Structure 1
Amino acid sequence: MPAVSDPDTERLVSEKVDAFWRGIEGGASKRGNITVTIAEKKPKKNWFSMGEEEVPWEQWVINAELRQPKTERDRQTFQANLASTLTKAIETMISYTSSERGRAVVPPITDSSTISPFPFKVLVKVGNQEVG
């Protein structure tokens, strides 16, 4: 997949993934999710204040569960299921983002001075608690 290298984005992703692993390893819950929300900046429509607000237009939720297979056969089955699940997820993302409907929801790019013209947030939860 095409990508642009950006040290700040790479650092943010590494920090969030590390926080996820620390939360999984140190907590009772072995389930969690990472949510990526992409927004656009719009003028605030408020009588008493001026400025901009971030309005989300896309969100991806990555659910994860830590499992420890007990046998070699369990490990092989788990890896095959994981590969299939990840392949389906990537196919869904590519299919949606390359469709007319997927492209129609992307707001106009009004700022080309940064690596990402849209502000984004990454939220990590283990169990139902935010970590990192």
Structure 2
Amino acid sequence: MIDQRAAALERQLESERSSAVAGFFEKRRRKAWLSRGDEQVCWECWTVKVTVAEPRTESERAKVRRAMEQTLLTSAMKIVTFANSHKDHIPPIITQGGNPFPFKINVDQKETGWVARMRIY
């Protein structure tokens, strides 16, 4: 699934900017009078904005790659630090299965123009 979403993000990046949204869910038993079954409730959502840089020369390419690696490492460490310090909202694990929290990864539409910046769709 992650490979499919990464490929979708790559296709989406033809416009230089896009974002990927990862949502983590828990299954809850529906408690309504007429409805039965489980519902998925999102308990955390992360949006990762991506900007593509296209260097013109090999020296620019190396410089952009180093900057990208540093930015990715810094962002990953911020996520890990934040996630480790804010655990009180994480629901308890109640399943014996391999993945206690289902997740979805969506690639947003291209972010161009003032409409996208204002989040008007």
Once the two structures are superposed, residues 47-89 of structure 1 have per-residue CA deviations (whole angstroms, 9 ceiling, x without a partner) of: 3312221111111212112221123443333223212211211
The TM-score, its normalising length taken from structure 1, stands at: 0.72
Aligned residues of 1:20 and 1:126 also touching (Cα < 8 A): no
Asked if 1:68 is matched to 2:67, the reply is no
Match of 1:17 among 6, 12, 16: 6
Q: Report the CA distance between 1:123 and its aligned residue.
A: 0.5
The TM-score, its normalising length taken from structure 2, stands at: 0.78
Q: How many aligned residue pairs are there?
A: 111
Distance between the aligned counterparts of 1:126 and 1:50, measured in 2? 34
Q: Report the CA distance between 1:21 and its aligned residue.
A: 1.6
Distance between the aligned counterparts of 1:126 and 1:75, measured in 2? 27
SS in 2 for 1:61: strand
Aligned residues of 1:42 and 1:52 also touching (Cα < 8 A): yes
Distance between the aligned counterparts of 1:74 and 1:56, measured in 2? 41
Q: Which residue of 2 aligns with 1:8?
A: none
Q: Percent identity?
A: 29
AA partner of residue 50 (structure 2):
A
Structure 2: unaligned runs, 5 residues or longer:
112-121
Asked if 1:94 is matched to 2:98, the reply is no
Structure 1: unaligned runs, 5 residues or longer:
1-11
Q: What's the Cα RMSD here?
A: 1.9
AA partner of residue 74 (structure 2):
K
